[in-house]
A and B are shown apart, each in its own frame.
Chain A
């Protein structure tokens, strides 16, 4: 069964600290892996999209990694800001048509 599992479920960090969110997937055939940020009361916004051949991709203070062999991805946030408080959703695209399998998200709270 195609699944995307994220950990931790929630995380609280202090402003300025770094953190890493994890994503494991069992999706086949794999097309790409995406990370989205969803602020409370808003729709998800794309942070990164990585294909099979990409190991890492950055978007400002966000860096995503992908290990297609172990089917794991991580999202690293550097020097966190209060505005980083949101849910971070890992999404894996399946097959040529791009059926999207969504994880439940990690809720990040950045405290001053």
Chain B
């Protein structure tokens, strides 16, 4: 596609429910990242995928968070038993490969509100 696409753009859920967020990276980009952006805070790294390599899950805040990616295509971020502190914008980014100088392209994010 022309850019990184994320859905839904907004999600309101009740505390305790599970949510699934979707990211469709730019075609041909092997690297895919998930970030969380809380109000007034910098982006926090969550998880990274590079091709068929094992993902880097070091940023996931708890075992309620998980993500999958099939090959070099769509990724889903799942949050189980949502808590109010999970409310944030979840941003997905992709790049051709993972290297220090590679430019990242971001989606518009999913605004998650947990009531």
Contacting A32 at CB < 8 Å: which of B41, B42, B44, B100? Answer: B100
- Contact flag A98-B42 (CB < 8 Å), given A43-B4, A43-B106: no
A7 CB to closest chain B CB, in angstroms? 14
The yes or no answer to A46 lying at the interface (CB within 8 A) is yes
Stretch from B64-72, B78-86, B91-99 contacting the other chain: B91-99
The yes or no answer to A102 lying at the interface (CB within 8 A) is yes
Q: Is the interface of B mostly helix, strand, loop or mixed?
A: loop
**Which among A32, A43, A100, A104 has the greatest number of chain B C-beta atoms within 10 A?**
A43
Residues of A near any B CB (own CB < 8 A): 4, 31-32, 41-46, 49, 51, 89, 93, 95-100, 102-105
B92 CB to closest chain A CB, in angstroms? 8
Contacting A98 at CB < 8 Å: which of B98, B106, B109? Answer: B98
Q: Are A4 and B42 in contact (CB under 8 A)?
A: yes
**Which among B40, B91, B100, B111 has the greatest number of chain A C-beta atoms within 10 A?**
B100
**How far is B41's CA from A93's CA once the two chains are assembled, in angstroms?**
18
Q: Are B103 and A43 in contact (CB under 8 A)?
A: no
**How far is B93's CA from A97's CA once the two chains are assembled, in angstroms?**
16
Q: Which residues of A contact B111 (CB under 8 A)?
A: 41
Closest A residue by C-beta to B91: A43
Q: Which residues of B contact A32 (CB under 8 A)?
A: 100-101
Q: Are A42 and B45 in contact (CB under 8 A)?
A: no
